[in-house]
């Protein structure tokens, strides 16, 4: 699935861009973060080559995409998105640059993605699977008004109807 647009965001006097991650964006730092979070991820063996191949497969997919939040050329967050049904999207998030943790940027990133998909692609529902031990992600999805739909012994499944997306008023979003 290809995401040809770029979302330009102004947040706390900083400019950010959301765009599709390409294999040229995969580097040592990206892979190191994936290795650090492999407990939460579903694929155990991670390398730059494997990640670049994975990104190629995602770009060719009709239902998947990986978007990145950039400050200049610096990749801060990535989000894996999968279209499950006509009006439902699954979201995941991974922090790439740890110096941006606990600053509200992940919330802004997910909000902007959902805002775009709601308003430009008419997506009605978003879901997110979160490992029970991943407390920052649990807090993040709850702060965006996601509601618990299901839980098992390892994870929670949250869902959000796009009409209940909690607005972030101090944000400027522009699509190009």
**Mean pLDDT for the stretch of residues 68-85:** 88
Question: Which pLDDT score, from 0 to 100, does residue 38 have?
Answer: 57
Question: Which pLDDT score, from 0 to 100, does residue 40 have?
Answer: 46
Write down the mean pLDDT value for the chain: 85
Please state, in angstroms and rounded to a whole number, the distance separating the CA atoms of residues 154 and 29.
28
Question: Which pLDDT score, from 0 to 100, does residue 69 have?
Answer: 92
Is the pLDDT at 44 greater than 60? The verdict is no
User: Which residues are CB-contacts of 107 (< 8 A; sequence separation ≥ 6)?
Assistant: 140, 143, 144, 168
Q: 7-175 is classed in which CATH architecture?
A: 3-Layer(aba) Sandwich (3.40)
**Mean pLDDT for the stretch of residues 78-103:** 83
Of 38 and 35, the structure prediction assigns the larger pLDDT to 35
User: Which residues are CB-contacts of 17 (< 8 A; sequence separation ≥ 6)?
Assistant: 6, 7, 8, 9, 69, 70
DSSP state of 48: H
* Beta pairing partners, 7: 18, 175
- Full-model pTM: 0.85
DSSP H helical ranges for the chain: 28-36, 48-60, 105-121, 135-143
**Mean pLDDT for the stretch of residues 110-137:** 91
Residue 10: both structure tokens together: 């102004």
Please state, in angstroms and rounded to a whole number, the distance separating the CA atoms of residues 137 and 16.
21
**Mean pLDDT for the stretch of residues 122-142:** 91
How do residues 136-163 score in pLDDT, each as one tens digit?
A: 889 999 999 999 999 998 899 999 999 9
Question: Which pLDDT score, from 0 to 100, does residue 160 have?
Answer: 95
């Amino acid at each position: 699935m290809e995401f040809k647009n770029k979302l330009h965001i102004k947040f706390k006097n900083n400019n950010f861009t959301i765009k599709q991650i390409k294999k040229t964006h995969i580097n040592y730092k990206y892979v190191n973060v994936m290795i650090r979070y492999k407990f939460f991820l579903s694929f155990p063996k991670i390398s730059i080559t494997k990640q670049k191949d994975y990104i190629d497969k995602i770009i060719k997919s009709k239902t998947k995409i990986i978007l990145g939040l950039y400050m200049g050329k610096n990749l801060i967050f990535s989000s894996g998105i999968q279209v499950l049904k006509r009006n439902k999207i699954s979201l995941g998030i991974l922090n790439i640059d740890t110096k941006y943790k606990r600053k509200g940027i992940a919330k802004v990133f997910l909000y902007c993605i959902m805002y775009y998909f709601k308003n430009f692609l008419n997506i009605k529902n978003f879901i997110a699977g979160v490992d029970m031990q991943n407390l920052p992600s649990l807090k993040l999805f709850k702060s965006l008004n996601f509601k618990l739909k299901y839980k098992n012994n390892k994870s929670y499944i949250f869902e959000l109807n796009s009409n209940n997306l909690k607005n972030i008023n101090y944000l400027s979003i522009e699509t190009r």
